[in-house]
Amino acid sequence: MKILVVNSGSSSLKYQLFDMVGETVLAKGLVERIGSQGSVLTHQADGRKEKMDFESPNHEAALRKVFDVLTASGTGVLKDIKEIDAVGHRVVHAGEKYASSVRITPEVVAALEECSELAPLHNPPGITGIRAITKLLPEVPQVGVFDTAFHQTMPKEAYIYPIPYEYYERHKIRRYGFHGTSHRYVSMRAAEMLGKPIANLKLITCHLGNGSSIAAVDGGRSVDTSMGFTPLAGIPMGTRSGDLDPAIVTFMAEKDGVTAEHVVQKILNKQSGVLGVSGLSNDFRDLEEAAEAGNESAALALTIFANGLRKYIAAYAAIMNGVDAIIFTAGIGENSKEMRSRVCEGLKFFGVAIDEEKNNCRGIERDISMPGSKVRVLIVPTNEELVIARDTRAIVFS
């Protein structure tokens, strides 16, 4: 059984083709600059990586090119595109409509379109990807896997904002949370690594990438998470501010004669976070190098990030009245031993003790806690594509 996983962005498209017998990746790649002149396809299969320039005015054209490469005579991993049994899509926002993955039907597409109001930048590309596959592979079943779904188990006290309640009723303003597929995957893997049923575990999962979010996972259910109505909330990120006093928005807008929308979309989403504080980079590798060389702004940005993370971890331990394990994942969580070390150092007071030798690693699954640590600390590389492929198989073929 072969499943294609598609993750459509506004001008990009990532894909992975799985052979579900053994859950192996047959091919994967990325199309960039869709809709601009000169799109680029980077394709990997059979241990080879190729880059191809082509024209791709839209996602359908991008997928056509991907299909050509997948079936190319001699080098393709498929003889015929008909070998694809199902397609799974990453879609960002399903609002309150779906608490788990679903088979795509015209009704589901309509429901997701309604949710686009809540995620105007992130949802339309996912829907575009679904439409393109519907056109190119009309007979092939499709499944939608949503970033918000895992967090639909949050209790009301976690998702209702302390603003007039009518805003929730009239406009659905509430905490939704994102990165749900990743938080779900790493919490399941953590339970397997700890050898305990997930139902008995209190976990704090830290997805630290370009966007970062923390989740409190109690008994396998998300009970709180740091991102909110949009992915702008929570800890500071690469270019996003994370939590701040909302009065800053109108103050900045008045002072500089710009709109509140400009402040939120441009300044707080794209020019803030560790990039904004350091004035240097949103990439933690650059910041760690600069801080090491004595750059104070880079050091300050990293400290603000580490403290933000530590505050959320402590808060979620309080929310769950305990924590069995802290899990680090995504680009920074999997790769930065410095950040893991700093955060854990500041959590010694509630029984976190890591072994620095075990922590000295990158991108591998590992328990890095000291044998006696009250709270276990795990690195779990995330694999959202695999979850999407598994959900697709489960929904289409069971």
d(CA 34, CA 244): 34
Residue 110 φ then ψ, to 5°: -65, -40
Minimum distance, C-beta of residue 247 to ligand ADP, in the bound complex (Å) = 29
**Gyration radius of the chain's alpha carbons:** 21
State which residue, 118 or 287, has the beta carbon closest to ligand ADP.
287
CB of residue 285 to ligand ADP, shortest distance in Å: 5
Q: Which is nearer to ligand ADP, 16 or 335 (CB)?
A: 335
Q: Nearer Cβ to ligand ADP, position 70 or 339?
A: 339
**Closest distance to ligand ADP from the beta carbon of 245 (Å):** 26
Q: With respect to ligand ADP, which residue has the nearer C-beta, 9 or 88? A: 9
By beta carbon distance, the residue nearest ligand ADP is 331
User: What's the number of CA atoms in the CB half-sphere (13 Å) around residue 22?
Assistant: 4
From the CB of 295, what's the least distance to ligand ADP, in Å?
A: 16
- Rounded CA-CA distance 182/192 in Å is 15
Site residues, ligand ADP (CB under 6 A): 209-211, 238, 283-285, 288, 330-332, 335-336, 362
Pull the structure tokens for residue 202.
């209190």
Helix ranges (H only) for 236-295 are 247-256, 260-262, 269-270, 273-278, 284-292
Please state the closest distance from residue 13 (CB atom) to ligand ADP, in A.
15
Q: Give the C-alpha separation, 178 to 181, whole Å.
A: 8
DSSP string, 33-89: -TTSSSEEEEEEETTEEEEEEE--SSHHHHHHHHHHHHT-TTT-S-S-GGG--EEEE
Q: CB-wise, 30 or 158, nearer to ligand ADP?
A: 30
Secondary structure letter of residue 200 according to DSSP:
G
Q: Which entry of 19, 46, 80, 147 is annotated as an active-site residue?
A: 147
**Given CA atoms 362, 284, 353, 365 in this order, what sign does their dihedral have?**
negative
- 53 carries an active-site annotation: no
Question: Which sequence positions are flagged as catalytic?
Answer: 147
